[in-house]
Structure 1
Amino acid sequence: MSGLTSIRLTRRSVCIWFGFITCIAVTYLGNNFGHTTEIPTLDKNSHSEISILKSNDAFKKILQIYRTDKQCHDAMLAADPVRSAIYVKGRCSVFLGEYVDFTAILYNGYGKPKYTGGDHLRARLYNDLLGAYSLGTILDHNNGTYTVTVQALWIGRAQLEVEVLYSKETMTTAFRLRRTWDFSNIFAFFSYKNYTDKTTCGPDNETVLEYSKQTQLCNFSYWNNSQQWFCGKPKYQLSCDHWRAITRNWDNFTKGMNTCEQELSKRDRHTHIQSNITLQILPNTINGVNRTTFIETSNTCSNYNKTKLWFKVKPTGYYYNNKWIMLHCKGFRHFHGECFRNKTLLFWGDSTLYQWYTYLKNKFLAGIEATCTLGQGWHRYQRCNFYKYNMTIIFLGHNIPLCGFKMKNLYTFFKSISFEKVIESESRNTDDLLLVLHLYAHIQLYKFEHFAAHISEIKKSLKRILKMKTNIKVFIKLPHAYRRFKEGLWKIKRNDFVGFIFTHIMQTLFQGLLDKIIVLDQKDSTIAKRNLDIHPSDTIVREMVLQFMSYACTNDQ
């Protein structure tokens, strides 16, 4: 199928799934060679999977808390961390391995107690001198009080930190805007000879039609691999094939915010509930051994039932000496190149996953003879072969939408973002292929229905791959935590709470494949370490890669 297709609209009714069923008037898709076909839609399987998601009680419960479109009008009525309080239940001197409960009571800006729940709290223990960090669990009693539970995981001192990172009102605003945002700030640039044009793009064809003010759309869905994508057809002597760049901004995303919402979204500095609570953790004999840190199991991660990783019920680990120690299984603490001998590692994702690729290449495999093909920019196809271990690492930027970029050859670009095509060629030349997928940084403003449709299509790709190939292991890197972003109003535009919703969507939609996909959940480690930037530090990235290696390799490698 050569040539990119465009949609010409006349009077014909076609029903399409975009998170809801809608019927629009269309005629056909036609490419430059006269080929016609009906507008592509998500098939019935995708429809039924999204219906399952919408009927899932846990998913509905998460969204229901923030479902109201009612805007706040008095920021002083929101939870005020400075006026709130936390109290310890019991003693502050505990033994290694014991659990300690605290009660957090939230007050508003007028100093009056809150009687509703829904605010997003985070808690952790830390000792910077020891490089020791762990996170706590939060139980919302829906009456303005919360139970914070932590476990004593190292001997010595441990300072408690509890904060109200997102007020209920801030999350309500963020969710409301995601339901109503129209993607109207994403543009494609077309050029050919002396002709240029710019048109609106997005995953919803009706919105693109509305903003492009045209009767034809370029349909890039087939080439975009697992995500529907449309752009207004360019004018003049230009065709869809002349697409050369994409750009975006979020200027109109927050246009519907009032003064109260603006004020609450800017509360970045005063999120901590003031307390001077310090635990003194005493040595304890565990399995007949006096230890300085708590280790729950000696079972290796390679032997762990990895389906359980989708359903964690308590923190998965903690930092000590700035090294992440998993509680449910014993992982690698250092890099072992033999682990990846005769293997191909394929990373498909955004720039935060690209950090894994570069850490492997520039840190763990530094100094080892290699042949590399490096594209310009993180979203370009990149590949390195390391002769010592006969291993290959490949990075592919995920499909559109991603950050702004330019391209010389449209078809080469689309080919370079298809992990299915790369797997088809690579799996014939390697003993084992490890595929790591990650979608997060560039899709945080998605409507949840669009993200669900995207994941549903990825699931179909993985089903095909796993059915045809026996030498492949699939990993999903779940969204990590962070607490700031370069853009203004990051708590609305790029908050990390969306990652919790994305995680639940994936957990629901990947039903049937949970035993075939190894999930890498690193929210715990990034919350415990109080990771600041969406791009974690090298210290954190190192532990992320070692966690991946712990599940990818057997303990005798």
Structure 2
Amino acid sequence: MKISITMSLNFWKYILIILSLYGLIFLLINITLWKSWKNHLVSALYKDQNGIQSSNLSETHQAFHHKRTPYCPHLAQPLSPEEELEERNLLDLIAWPKPPSGSESLYLSQTSDPVHSRFTIVNDKNWSVGDQLEVQVQLRDFKGRPKRYGGDLLLARLHSPQYRAGVAGQVLDLKNGIYYARFSLLWEGSAQVDVVMVHSSEAVAVLQRLREKRFDRVYFSSIFGQGNHFEKTICNMCLPPDQEPLCNFTDHRTGEPWYCYKPKMLSCDARNNHAMGGYTKDIITKEEALLFQSGKNIKVAIRASSTDNINVLALTKEAASRRREPVKLATSGYYYQDLWRPLGGISMRHFDKAFAITLCLNNKSVYMYGDSTMRQWFEYLHSVLPDLRQVTLNPKPVGPFMAVDSKHNILLKYRFHGPPIRITPVMTSELRYIANELDGLTGGPDTVVALSVWAHFSTFPVEVYINRLRQIRKAVVRLLDRAPGTVVVIRTPNPQALERDVSLYNSDWFSLQQDTVLRAMFEGLNVRFVDAWQMVVAHHKPHNVHPPRAIVKNMVDMMLSYICPDLTGNQSRQ
């Protein structure tokens, strides 16, 4: 009897344990679903409230959900819930349409061919200033067959050699091989449409894989020295920890990671310099290399099916009274007579005389931080201001540089951003992070900060770029809080000349994605943008990572217009 009762109790005991386990599993599943639903709800509310929208030339579509994959899992610093949400929203914002499954095994003949592709001006009519021009682009493969999916990277421009005018187009991907390029008609007279295929959708898929998986595409080095003994080791933001002992050079204030392999005979404290190591070769297959051929499927013009020219008439009062308000395009400005004319309320001043620049910068300190595209601004101002004397005579282009006009109390400083930077050897004492430099500024109405951070982050996962901008943004907020009158100007990325190898490390696709992230992260702050992307796309000069002097002048004039606005509201030359 006792045995029977004991067996019965054990039976019900096991039943209760099993039921408890099922209940626990059910509870965990519901908690997970609740968190997932809650995150999606918060994400939707965040986007709705903040209105983060892409202002680049390609309208992207959320093609898949992103899961955070730290570029170096064993070193990744935890993010706050707000930072995780922001990162997820940013990754959704730059999500790019993927080719269909199996396209990685396509032959070259089945991929996008700009030569067989065509564009057509839609609804040809009598165009007037203020209208919008729409162009349809049909992508075809190398056998002339229409493409059935999107994801190609196109750039579009409307220009007039006669008036030295130009405006960038906004490209919409319908994800079926058809694209629309839309232009604001901003000047009277002739205009010509240019459409260029930068990369096929298949090539973009390769670039996306490289960005996410091959952040070792570029490597760096440092020399460690003591007495007569020197050793050179490899450095990067992330290094495999199981190969050799590491020296940790992570910045204590910003948390920006940087590591070098420890030298055999020296301590980590013996590090003397930082330099570009090189580019990793053979990072794509022979089949993938066919997608990156100069003159064939990298930055090749697409021809018009009929005409590529239109004539824009002056807007009459009668036509204006009948016109409905057009859809507003993300156009920041346009060129006319080679002069940039911004849209959106800012009045542009063109500083053609040195005395006008001097008058604007009188009693001001201008701090320029970033890459070599920001150094161009320093070099331009140094070349045109007669009373400016360069104090630091650093022969290396990396700087830092300082120039002073003691007569007018003008100070110009330029400093490169912290690693990763692909440069000639520079002393480690000169490696400074922008966020730390900004924290050292007093700020105020006579202080100008100009920033350009993008080109050296193209070989890393986009999370690295987001984190760097986040640290800079925090420092900008702190600066504006303690000195609200400080003028902060941010230069956006720009397209450049591309060949096969350049594409794998510095493609316009990387830069376009950075452009979107940069604008979204600083949206709503009291900062000003110089739209280098559209200023380069709209200009008649060939694309270059370092734009020609004519474009640089317009960029600097844009910055000076923010510093010394024209209160009359007119475009002016001085």
TM-score band, normalised by the shorter chain? 0.7 to 0.9
> In the alignment, what sits opposite 1:501?
513
Q: Deviations over 1:164-220 (max 9, x none)?
A: 11111111111101111142732222222232222222212xx3424xx223x2222
Percent identical pairs in the alignment equals 22
- The amino acid across from 1:171 in the alignment is V
Report the alpha carbon displacement of residue 448 of structure 1 after superposing the two structures with TM. Answer: 1.0
Separation of aligned partners in 2, 1:538 and 1:23 = 43
Matched, 1:545 2:556: yes
Report the alpha carbon displacement of residue 238 of structure 1 after superposing the two structures with TM. Answer: 4.2
Query: Are residues 93 and 259 of structure 1, via their aligned partners in 2, closer, same or farther at CA, if it must alter by over 3 Å?
Result: farther
Separation of aligned partners in 2, 1:155 and 1:504 = 31
Matched, 1:480 2:494: yes
- The amino acid across from 1:328 in the alignment is G
> In the alignment, what sits opposite 2:387?
368
Q: 2:374 aligns with which of 321, 339, 353?
A: 353
Query: Are residues 466 and 226 of structure 1, via their aligned partners in 2, closer, same or farther at CA, if it must alter by over 3 Å?
Result: farther
> In the alignment, what sits opposite 1:332?
349
Separation of aligned partners in 1, 2:375 and 2:557 = 15
Q: 1:279 aligns with which of 292, 295, 310?
A: 310
- The amino acid across from 1:526 in the alignment is V
Q: TM-score, normalised by structure 2?
A: 0.77
SS of aligned partner of 1:249: strand
- The amino acid across from 2:374 in the alignment is L
Summarize the alignment of residues 111-510 of structure 1 with structure 2, pairs less than 5 Å apart.
111-183=144-216, 185-204=219-238, 207-210=239-242, 213-215=243-245, 217-222=246-251, 227-252=256-281, 255-268=282-295, 271-275=300-304, 276-285=307-316, 313-329=329-345, 330-334=347-351, 336-337=356-357, 338-363=359-384, 365=385, 367-368=386-387, 370=389, 372-408=391-427, 410=428, 412-414=429-431, 417-419=432-434, 422-423=437-438, 427=442, 431-484=445-498, 488-510=500-522
Structure 1: tracts of 5 or more residues without a match = 1-17, 25-38, 290-295, 297-311
Separation of aligned partners in 2, 1:481 and 1:398 = 20
Separation of aligned partners in 1, 2:545 and 2:175 = 30
Q: Is contact 2:100-2:149 (8 Å) kept?
A: no
> In the alignment, what sits opposite 2:526?
516
Q: Is contact 2:215-2:459 (8 Å) kept?
A: no
Separation of aligned partners in 1, 2:338 and 2:85 = 43
Q: Is contact 1:226-1:454 (8 Å) kept?
A: no
Query: Are residues 234 and 65 of structure 1, via their aligned partners in 2, closer, same or farther at CA, if it must alter by over 3 Å?
Result: same
Query: Are residues 351 and 56 of structure 1, via their aligned partners in 2, closer, same or farther at CA, if it must alter by over 3 Å?
Result: closer
SS of aligned partner of 2:112: coil
Separation of aligned partners in 2, 1:97 and 1:23 = 52
Separation of aligned partners in 2, 1:22 and 1:161 = 42
Report the alpha carbon displacement of residue 49 of structure 1 after superposing the two structures with TM. Answer: 1.2
Q: Is contact 2:117-2:140 (8 Å) kept?
A: yes
> In the alignment, what sits opposite 1:527?
537
- The amino acid across from 1:394 in the alignment is K
SS of aligned partner of 2:537: helix
- The amino acid across from 2:517 in the alignment is I
Q: 2:86 aligns with which of 33, 46, 52?
A: 52
Separation of aligned partners in 2, 1:141 and 1:333 = 39
Report the alpha carbon displacement of residue 324 of structure 1 after superposing the two structures with TM. Answer: 0.8
Q: Is contact 1:477-1:521 (8 Å) kept?
A: yes
Q: Is contact 2:170-2:329 (8 Å) kept?
A: no
Moved over 6 A (4+): 66-70, 286-289
Separation of aligned partners in 2, 1:49 and 1:287 = 52
Separation of aligned partners in 2, 1:388 and 1:226 = 41
SS of aligned partner of 1:106: strand
Q: Deviations over 1:405-428 (max 9, x none)?
A: 3245x3x323xx244565566537
Structure 2: tracts of 5 or more residues without a match = 1-67, 569-574
Query: Are residues 334 and 201 of structure 1, via their aligned partners in 2, closer, same or farther at CA, if it must alter by over 3 Å?
Result: same
Q: Is contact 1:202-1:208 (8 Å) kept?
A: no
Separation of aligned partners in 1, 2:291 and 2:101 = 17
| Aligned-residue RMSD, C-alpha | 3.1
Separation of aligned partners in 2, 1:533 and 1:391 = 30
Structure (1 or 2) with the greater helix fraction: 2
Separation of aligned partners in 1, 2:153 and 2:79 = 36
Separation of aligned partners in 2, 1:161 and 1:328 = 25
Of stretches 438-447 and 151-160 in structure 1, the one that deviates more from structure 2 is 151-160
Q: Is contact 2:149-2:176 (8 Å) kept?
A: yes
Report the alpha carbon displacement of residue 92 of structure 1 after superposing the two structures with TM. Answer: 5.4
Q: Is contact 1:435-1:474 (8 Å) kept?
A: yes
Separation of aligned partners in 2, 1:181 and 1:201 = 15
> In the alignment, what sits opposite 1:11?
none
Separation of aligned partners in 1, 2:318 and 2:343 = 15
Query: Are residues 127 and 110 of structure 1, via their aligned partners in 2, closer, same or farther at CA, if it must alter by over 3 Å?
Result: same
Q: TM-score, normalised by structure 1?
A: 0.79
Number of aligned residue pairs: 485
- The amino acid across from 2:418 in the alignment is N
Separation of aligned partners in 1, 2:560 and 2:100 = 39
SS of aligned partner of 2:516: helix
- The amino acid across from 1:334 in the alignment is F
- The amino acid across from 1:98 in the alignment is D
Query: Are residues 71 and 431 of structure 1, via their aligned partners in 2, closer, same or farther at CA, if it must alter by over 3 Å?
Result: same
Report the alpha carbon displacement of residue 19 of structure 1 after superposing the two structures with TM. Answer: 5.1
> In the alignment, what sits opposite 1:36?
none
- The amino acid across from 1:84 in the alignment is S
Of stretches 531-540 and 229-238 in structure 1, the one that deviates more from structure 2 is 229-238
Matched, 1:536 2:547: yes
Separation of aligned partners in 2, 1:265 and 1:224 = 41
Bigger radius of gyration, 1 or 2?
2
Separation of aligned partners in 2, 1:541 and 1:121 = 24
Separation of aligned partners in 2, 1:214 and 1:72 = 37
Separation of aligned partners in 1, 2:186 and 2:498 = 28
